[in-house]
């Protein structure tokens, strides 16, 4: 307790006594003060005044009125009050200028969320001394549909020693300075810790340790979080082998993800990026030791394999909208899995139940990380595993349950003609008796029918490397034993080897008679001294000037360069024929990759013909000839008409003459008939008579 000395004489000198009514009391009080004692008993004080220092006290008392008595009592009370107040002053003042304020009186949050950008910010302020004054703020739920912990999460402060306890409802703020009173401010985010029930929650923040700060409230409206359905594009899936002791765990894929996130310390996104980069190289299966994953896996089924776990598939569900984070409910439906073909599947990480289909249990589909275990049923064939979330297919994997290898097959060689002194390669695949792809392993061997033409590596898991020795042809054979004679499974491939320089280089074009503007293909053919195609690759068949043309062409795909990239001894270019007609010559000069020492010209030509113009000319000539023929026909028709007119006139005249002759004959005949009738009449009369 800090004490303050009260100087009574100084106090009394400052008291103005009116009407001389306070003289004896003042003198008494003054004398008491001079002796250094405190006036604690009013009776003792008055007795001391009568006996020792007061003259004529009786007269003075008589003169004092009731009003004076009240004034004297009031004055003593004031003095006592002053002494009392000063006597209880603390050694350290309590926090001052303390206050609480929130940036948002009402805000929003979604179920399962914690701190978001929409959180209200509490600002706590006080003025005080470090290690002495502390402002404590406590968050509590005043109302809401269910209890959920309110959290005050430290945001920032530069002037205070502020507590930063994670997931806490109570935080403290104290000044930085230990020597003087200073003002301190700290800010905290106010939110609910992953609420599960939607509704309106009221959070009350109560201060202690100050005298001025008042409690504040924040209303947080919680709505149910919704996620877009998982998509195949955003969902990632990885299949690992689980067939040997070191990889026997059925949740091998989950273990990989857990290792990257827990042991390495990657974020989920970083772990997924790492796993993506761990895809098996072409031809490599996710077997033990490869440390990679693949979409297709082959498993050799042997005796008593039924019930053995052969693969582990990890699915990380996402929709491309929400940030990748553990605990996000990416779909309103669990993951379902089916297997078409041999084998069984299960979903989960414990208490596996295997079948041709499996559905994720209610406990599991609140997680974005999902796991599928695949088990052999002891039979062979191709199995397709399909994972679906909310009706969307998010992953498809293939496992080939195979028998023993029964056949080999070659892929496409990297070169159709291998150059002398150069190499090419070809991959090999294998299959069982049913044609299902098998794991070729390392027990395949390659042999060359003519090592003077080409040599091969003696053994390679899935690739044969061919080295050209001289121009010619050879047959490559692969087998399942170290000697060809001992091999029971074989496959052959004919290969070609060509020199890397050309004896002849020729141009050919198609079509040979292009129309103006028609696309033309120019083929360069390079043959070595043995008559075989020059080996595949870039060869300097021309000088640096490259290919030139006698007429301007459009859209040529060659450049003014010496190099020509050959495949099978040829290279092709295209251009568009000129718009005119005539002969187009294409030429180049032999380059350094030719055997010639004189470097002759390489030429080719085509004739540009304009069929449309020629056809029009022919049509015009034919039309002219047709017109002439029509004219001749018209003249002939006119002459024929004239002849017909003459003939008709002559016929008419003949008819007229004939008519006249007939008329005369008829008249003569009539006269004869008349004469005959007269004779008959005469005869008849004579007969009657």
> Which residues pair with residue 467 across a beta bridge?
423, 455
Query: Do residue 206 and residue 241 come from a single domain?
Result: no
Q: For the ranges 319-333, 465-479, 584-598, which has the lowest average pLDDT?
A: 319-333
The last residue of one of the domains, among 223, 244, 267, is 223
Question: Is residue 334 pLDDT above 80, yes or no?
Answer: no
In a domain, 628, yes or no: no
The last residue of one of the domains, among 562, 592, 609, is 609
Query: Do residue 451 and residue 546 come from a single domain?
Result: no
Token pair, residue 114, equals 């914690």
Token pair, residue 430, equals 């294998």
Q: Can you give the pLDDT at residue 325? A: 47
Query: Do residue 72 and residue 208 come from a single domain?
Result: no
In a domain, 496, yes or no: no
Which residue range(s) make up the domain with 189? 96-223
Query: Do residue 27 and residue 153 come from a single domain?
Result: no
Q: Can you give the pLDDT at residue 227? A: 60
| Ramachandran sector of residue 392 (left: φ over 0; alpha: ψ -120 to 50; beta: rest) | beta
Query: Do residue 263 and residue 336 come from a single domain?
Result: yes
- Number of residues assigned to the chain: 689
H/E segment holding residue 655: helix 611-688
Question: For residue range 490-523, what is the model confidence (pLDDT) as tens digits?
Answer: 999 999 999 999 999 999 999 999 999 999 999 9
% of the chain exceeding 70 in pLDDT: 78
Question: Is residue 435 pLDDT above 60, yes or no?
Answer: yes
CA distance 249 to 311: 9
Residue 457, number of CB atoms within 10 A of its CB: 14
CA distance 130 to 137: 17
Where do we find the tokens 């930085």? Answer: 176
Query: Do residue 249 and residue 339 come from a single domain?
Result: yes
CA distance 595 to 301: 57
Q: Region 185-193: what's the mean pLDDT?
A: 95
Question: Is residue 61 pLDDT above 60, yes or no?
Answer: no
Query: Do residue 415 and residue 386 come from a single domain?
Result: no
Query: Would you say 389 and 335 are in contact if contact means Cβ atoms under 8 Å apart?
Result: yes
Query: Do residue 242 and residue 334 come from a single domain?
Result: yes
Q: In the 8-state DSSP scheme, what is residue 502?
A: B
| Most confident of the ranges 20-34, 268-282, 391-405 | 391-405
Q: In the 8-state DSSP scheme, what is residue 545?
A: T
In a domain, 520, yes or no: yes
> Which residues pair with residue 143 across a beta bridge?
202
Q: For the ranges 261-270, 526-535, 591-600, 676-685, which has the lowest average pLDDT?
A: 261-270
> Which residues pair with residue 606 across a beta bridge?
584
What does each C-alpha distance from 421 to 116, 418, 569 come to in angstroms? 66, 8, 16
Question: For residue range 608-643, what is the model confidence (pLDDT) as tens digits?
Answer: 988 666 666 777 788 888 888 888 888 888 888 888
CA distance 640 to 500: 83
> Which residues pair with residue 500 across a beta bridge?
none
In a domain, 636, yes or no: no
Query: Would you say 481 and 488 are in contact if contact means Cβ atoms under 8 Å apart?
Result: yes
Question: Is residue 342 pLDDT above 80, yes or no?
Answer: yes
Question: Is residue 532 pLDDT above 80, yes or no?
Answer: yes
Question: For residue range 273-294, what is the model confidence (pLDDT) as tens digits?
Answer: 888 888 888 767 776 566 788 8
Give residue 653's pLDDT band: very low, low, confident or very high (50, 70, 90). confident
Query: Do residue 100 and residue 83 come from a single domain?
Result: no
CA distance 588 to 340: 61
* More confident of the two residues 506 and 262: 506
What does each C-alpha distance from 454 to 42, 319, 486 come to in angstroms? 133, 54, 22
In a domain, 633, yes or no: no
The last residue of one of the domains, among 609, 626, 647, is 609
Question: Is residue 23 pLDDT above 50, yes or no?
Answer: no
CA distance 299 to 305: 10
* More confident of the two residues 441 and 60: 441
Cis-peptide into 511, omega within 30 deg: yes
Question: Is residue 372 pLDDT above 80, yes or no?
Answer: yes
* 364 three-state secondary structure: coil
Q: For the ranges 438-452, 465-479, 608-622, which has the lowest average pLDDT?
A: 608-622
Query: Do residue 424 and residue 541 come from a single domain?
Result: no
- Residue 380's nearest CA partner among 300, 460, 482 is 300
Query: Would you say 539 and 593 are in contact if contact means Cβ atoms under 8 Å apart?
Result: yes
Query: Would you say 411 and 429 are in contact if contact means Cβ atoms under 8 Å apart?
Result: yes
CA distance 123 to 189: 9
Question: For residue range 544-603, what is the model confidence (pLDDT) as tens digits?
Answer: 999 999 999 999 999 999 999 999 999 999 999 998 888 999 999 999 999 999 999 999
Token pair, residue 663, equals 């008329």
In a domain, 626, yes or no: no
**Strand pairing category for 445-448 and 472-479:** antiparallel
Query: Would you say 128 and 175 are in contact if contact means Cβ atoms under 8 Å apart?
Result: yes
In a domain, 2, yes or no: no
Query: Would you say 343 and 399 are in contact if contact means Cβ atoms under 8 Å apart?
Result: yes
CA distance 187 to 164: 10
Give residue 75's pLDDT band: very low, low, confident or very high (50, 70, 90). very low
State the CATH number of the domain containing residue 201: 2.60.40.10
Q: How many domains does the chain have?
A: 5
- Residue 451's nearest CA partner among 499, 495, 501, 500 is 495
* 130 three-state secondary structure: coil
Token pair, residue 103, equals 């940036």
Q: Can you give the pLDDT at residue 151? A: 96
Tell me the average pLDDT of the chain: 80
- Residue 256's nearest CA partner among 285, 247, 236 is 247
* 430 three-state secondary structure: strand
* More confident of the two residues 486 and 49: 486
Query: Do residue 271 and residue 334 come from a single domain?
Result: yes
Where do we find the tokens 């008494």? Answer: 28
Sign of CA dihedral 195, 196, 201, 205: negative
Q: Can you give the pLDDT at residue 682? A: 83
**Strand pairing category for 296-300 and 392-402:** parallel
State the CATH number of the domain containing residue 460: 2.60.40
Query: Do residue 81 and residue 100 come from a single domain?
Result: no
Q: Region 376-383: what's the mean pLDDT?
A: 91
In a domain, 319, yes or no: yes
> Which residues pair with residue 474 across a beta bridge?
495
Residues 6+ apart with CB under 8 A from 634: none
């Amino acid at each position: 307790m800090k004490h303050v000395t009260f100087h009574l004489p100084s106090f009394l000198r400052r008291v103005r006594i009116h009407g001389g009514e306070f003289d004896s009391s003042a003198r008494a009080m003054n004398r008491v003060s001079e002796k250094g004692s405190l006036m604690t008993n009013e009776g003792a004080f008055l007795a001391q005044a009568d006996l020792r220092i007061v003259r004529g006290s009786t007269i003075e008392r008589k003169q004092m009125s009731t009003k004076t008595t009240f004034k004297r009592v009031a004055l003593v009370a004031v003095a006592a009050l002053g002494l009392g107040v000063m006597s209880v002053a603390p050694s350290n003042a309590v926090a001052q200028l303390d206050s609480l304020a929130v940036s948002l009186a009402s805000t929003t949050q979604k179920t399962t969320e914690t701190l978001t950008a929409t959180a209200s910010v509490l600002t706590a302020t006080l003025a005080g001394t470090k290690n002495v004054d502390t402002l404590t703020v406590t968050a509590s739920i005043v109302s809401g549909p269910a209890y959920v912990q309110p959290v005050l999460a430290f945001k920032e402060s530069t002037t205070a020693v502020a507590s930063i306890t994670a997931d806490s409802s109570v935080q403290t703020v104290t000044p930085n300075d230990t020597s003087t009173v200073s003002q301190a401010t700290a800010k905290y985010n106010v939110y609910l810790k992953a609420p599960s029930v939607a509704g309106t929650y009221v959070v009350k923040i109560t201060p202690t340790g100050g005298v001025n700060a008042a409690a504040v409230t924040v209303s947080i409206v919680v709505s149910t979080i919704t996620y877009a359905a998982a998509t195949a594009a955003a969902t990632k899936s990885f299949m690992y082998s689980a067939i040997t002791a070191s990889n026997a765990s059925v949740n091998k894929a989950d273990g990989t993800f857990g290792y990257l996130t827990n042991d390495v310390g990657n974020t989920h996104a970083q772990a997924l990026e790492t796993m993506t980069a761990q895809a098996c190289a072409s031809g490599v299966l996710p077997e033990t030791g490869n440390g990679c994953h693949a979409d297709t896996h082959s498993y050799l089924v042997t005796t008593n394999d039924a019930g053995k776990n052969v693969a582990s598939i990890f699915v990380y569900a996402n929709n491309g909208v929400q940030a990748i984070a553990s605990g996000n409910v990416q779909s309103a439906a669990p993951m379902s899995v089916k297997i078409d073909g041999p084998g069984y599947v299960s979903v989960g990480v414990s208490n596996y139940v295997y079948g041709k289909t499996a559905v994720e249990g209610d406990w599991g589909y609140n997680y974005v990380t999902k796991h599928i275990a695949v088990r052999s049923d002891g039979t062979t064939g191709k199995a397709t595993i399909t994972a679906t979330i909310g009706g969307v297919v998010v992953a498809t994997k293939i496992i080939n349950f195979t028998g023993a290898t029964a056949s080999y097959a070659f892929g496409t060689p990297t070169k159709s003609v291998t150059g002398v002194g150069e190499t090419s390669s070809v991959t090999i695949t294998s299959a069982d008796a049913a044609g299902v792809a098998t794991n070729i392993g390392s027990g395949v061997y390659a042999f060359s029918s003519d090592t003077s033409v080409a040599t091969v590596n003696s053994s390679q898991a899935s690739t044969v490397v061919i080295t050209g020795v001289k121009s010619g042809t050879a047959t490559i054979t692969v087998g399942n034993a170290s000697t060809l004679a001992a091999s029971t499974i074989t496959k052959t491939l004919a290969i070609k080897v060509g020199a890397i320089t050309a004896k002849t280089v020729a141009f050919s074009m198609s079509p040979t008679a292009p129309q103006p503007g028609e696309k033309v293909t120019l083929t360069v053919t390079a043959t070595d001294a043995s008559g075989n195609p020059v080996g595949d690759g870039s060869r300097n068949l021309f000088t640096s000037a490259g290919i030139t043309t006698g007429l301007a062409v459009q859209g040529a795909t060659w450049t003014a360069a010496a190099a020509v990239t050959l495949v099978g001894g040829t290279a092709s270019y295209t251009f568009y024929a000129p718009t005119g007609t005539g002969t187009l010559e294409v030429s180049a000069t032999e380059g350094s990759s030719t055997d010639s020492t004189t470097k002759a010209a390489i030429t080719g030509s085509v004739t540009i013909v304009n069929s449309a113009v020629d056809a029009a000319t022919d049509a015009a000539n034919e039309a002219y000839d047709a017109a002439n023929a029509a004219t001749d026909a018209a003249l002939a028709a006119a002459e024929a008409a004239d002849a017909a007119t003459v003939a008709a006139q002559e016929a008419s005249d003949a008819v007229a003459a004939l008519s006249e002759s007939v008329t005369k004959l008829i008249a003569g005949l009539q006269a004869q008939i008349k004469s005959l009738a007269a004779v008959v009449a005469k005869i008849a009369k004579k007969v009657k008579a």
